[in-house]
Every structure is written in structure tokens, then in C-alpha cells.
Amino acid sequence: MNPIRTQAAVDWAVLALDLGGTQVRAAVVRGDGIVVTQRRSRTPVEGGGEAIVQACLDALQACRDAHAAAGGSTLLVGIGIAAPGPVDPIRGRVIDPPNLGPSFHDTPLAERARASLGLPAFLDRDTQVAALGEGAFGAARGCADYLYLTVSTGIGGAIVSGGNLLRGPDGMAGELGHLLVDRDGPTCGCGAVGHLEAIASGSAIARAARRKIDAGESEPLARLALARGPAFGAREVAEAEMTGDPVAASIMAGARDAFARACVGFVDVFNPALIVVGGSLAAGQGDRWLEPAREMVAREAFRVPARRARIVPAALGDDIGFVGAAVLVAQRLGLQVGPPRALPGERGRPGER
Ligand SMILES: [Zn+2]
């Protein structure tokens, strides 16, 4: 028998890596979803692909060293990597993510991590990993059929059906942000027109605001853009909406409406029990973002799936990639994840709230 499989969940841990366009974050995460050590550094995009790979390996090694120095006796069983798509989860490669520069192309990151650290390494798209985390330890605990959506700079997604991630033959299924919602809409970061991400993402909201500023249509937005400089984005547009600027309000309402329309389609097409919504933009907006989607689903989706589907906020916050990486490794190695960790403010199991 594999000696690892007989360990109680808290007796094993993984090295987790969350690679993003701005930060490389690594952690040691126990089998019960608890993050015990973490390190973060800036992603050296300007240094090219090899510099980014090296930053990843350094962060993982630093976490392993810190864990050992702190007397951590937990057995490290593998490495779980959450990477921006598109990825090849079977071969553990990151294909050509838009935010990591032109030389980070078809990079065998899992193999490099395995060779460098001597542990089995597994990689998947960040949103797939996040969905695994929410399913094991977060808002979708105990749920076999759910969608995960992240709404921040971009919009990403994952589909879990019958307890399994839907991958498709190329490992690319679940790109829910690239659903066509408006044929006459703006151009998406992917080059197509009218995708959900082109209207409802943080970068889309910021672009729409810039167009209004350039056209001289909103004094409050222009003032905020001047004051915040390059940091001006969806957060400022949301702020201007709250202080009563009608132009900002119309941009935000358009984004929420596109998101709601997409959710109607998701409910009709996938019959999910839950749509779990994470990402900084959705988290900052809270029910302001989710409620229009709930209302439109109740009004416009097929009656039976609309009655079942609940649209809820993600529960794991910034740890989502780390926690999901532990679940990814556990799945690939045939380990059980540990007892659910308590979530902030939780009184009982999710179904009892
Ligand atoms: Zn797109």
C-alpha cells in the first residue's frame, strides 16, 4: 500500500504555486486546507520566460526552506501549480498566457518544478484550481454540480459536473468569460467581439470609463482619473457610481447586466446547483453585483434549473489558489483532503446556513 495514502490528512502538505501576471506566490498548504507558510515576489515579466520560471522555483524552494526551518515535520507529497490559461494540464505546460510576456511560451513549468525540487508536480489553469478549492473547502463544499466564475481584471471560469472538472479534449473547457453576450459590444482582450469579459471585467469597465472621459462626458470620472493616475480602474468607476455620477452608474449597470445575462445562459445550459463568484471586482461589489444576476435568472432562465441555482460569493479569498493547489495534488495522487476548515462567520455546514 502507498504509505502516503494511510496518512491522516493533516499529516501531509503540498508546495503550492500561484503564478500571476503581477505576483509569484508560493506556500506550504496542509491537506486540511490550512496555509502554513507563504512567500510572494513580483513577477519579473520584463526579464523573460526563464526569469519567471526561476522566480517560481525560488519561491517554492524558499517556502520549503522556511517550512523546514520552522520545524515543519509534515510530509511534503507534491507540488500544485495554478497558472494563467491557456495551459495543458496533462503535460503540465503553460501555453501562451497574455500577461506573462512573449517568451513565456509553451513552458513545461510542472516538469521544471519536479526536476528542481524532486517532488511530483501538477499544473492546471488558475480558475480550475480555484474551483477545486471552493469545492473541497469553500462555498461549494458538498456540491457536485457548480460553476466557478472569477470577476476581476479579466473574467475566468470553471465547470464542475458530477463532481468532476469539465476539461474538454484540449483541457480548455470552462472559459466562461469568453461567452458572446453582445454582438455589437466592444472588442475582447482575446480579439473577438462582445464577450462577457469585454463588458463586465475590471479592465473593460476601466476602458469604458476612459472612452467617456476622452469624450468629455463625465467630470467626476475625469477628476478621479487625474488623481489616481495609472491606478485608475474599475474600483474608481464603482466609487464614482456611489457618489452619484450617472455616467459611472451606467457603465457599472451595463457590466452587471451583461454578467446577469451570462448567468441566465449558464443556468439554462449547465443546470448548476451553485454559481460561485470570486474575484476582486465581484468581492468589492458584493450583493450589488450578484443580486441583478439572481433576479434575472429567476425571471428569465428555465423554471426548473432557475429554482435550483443559487448564486453565491466565493469563500476562500486570496488563499483560493493555494488551497486549490492542495486539492489538485490530492486528486492526482489519490489522497483524501482533510476535514473542512472553518470559514469566517460560519455556523454550520453550507447547506444549513
Ligand atoms: Zn474574449
- Each residue's pLDDT tens digit, 58-80: 999 999 999 999 887 789 999 99
- Cβ atoms of 59 and 116 closer than 8 Å: no
- DSSP class of residue 14 equals E
Per-residue pLDDT, 73: 76
Q: Show Cβ contacts of residue 84 under 8 Å, excluding neighbours closer than 6 positions.
A: 19, 20, 21, 94, 97, 98, 99, 100, 125, 126
Ligand 1 center to residue 28 CA distance, Å? 34
Ligand 1 center to residue 112 CA distance, Å? 30
CA dihedral 188, 190, 192, 197 (to 10 degrees): -40
- Helical H runs in 75-233? 109-117, 126-137, 196-200, 202-214, 219-228
247-254: average pLDDT: 98
- DSSP class of residue 173 equals T
Per-residue pLDDT, 162: 95
CATH of domain 143-313: 3.30.420.40
- Each residue's pLDDT tens digit, 5-42: 444 556 899 999 999 989 999 999 999 999 999 999 99
CA distance 317 to 226: 30
Ligand 1 center to residue 189 CA distance, Å? 6
Given CA atoms 61, 64, 67, 69 in this order, what sign does their dihedral have?
Answer: negative
Q: Kindly state the cell numbers that stand for 128.
A: 480550475
CA dihedral 169, 331, 158, 103 (to 10 degrees): -70
Annotated domain spans of the chain = 3-134+317-352, 143-313
Ligand 1 center to residue 190 CA distance, Å? 4
Asked if the domains 3-134+317-352 and 143-313 are classified in one and the same CATH topology, the answer is yes
Per-residue pLDDT, 192: 94
With residue 265 as reference, give the H or E element that holds it. Answer: helix 246-270
Ligand 1 center to residue 4 CA distance, Å? 42
Q: Which of 278, 52, 2 is nearest to 154 (CA)?
A: 278
Ligand 1 center to residue 178 CA distance, Å? 4
Q: Band of the pLDDT at 179, cuts 50, 70, 90?
A: very high
CA distance 134 to 137: 5
Ligand 1 center to residue 342 CA distance, Å? 36
Mean pLDDT over the full length of the chain: 92
CA distance 225 to 50: 36
- Cβ atoms of 195 and 203 closer than 8 Å: no
- Cβ atoms of 135 and 127 closer than 8 Å: no
Q: Which residues of 61-82 are buried (b: 16+ CB within 10 A; e: fewer)?
A: bebbebbeeeebebebbbbbbb
For 3-134+317-352, give the CATH class.
Answer: alpha beta
Ligand 1 center to residue 149 CA distance, Å? 15
Ligand 1 center to residue 191 CA distance, Å? 6
Q: Show Cβ contacts of residue 199 under 8 Å, excluding neighbours closer than 6 positions.
A: 181, 182, 185, 186, 254, 255, 258
What pTM, to 2 d.p., does this model score? 0.91
Q: Which residue has the cell 526563464?
A: 50
- Cβ atoms of 97 and 83 closer than 8 Å: yes
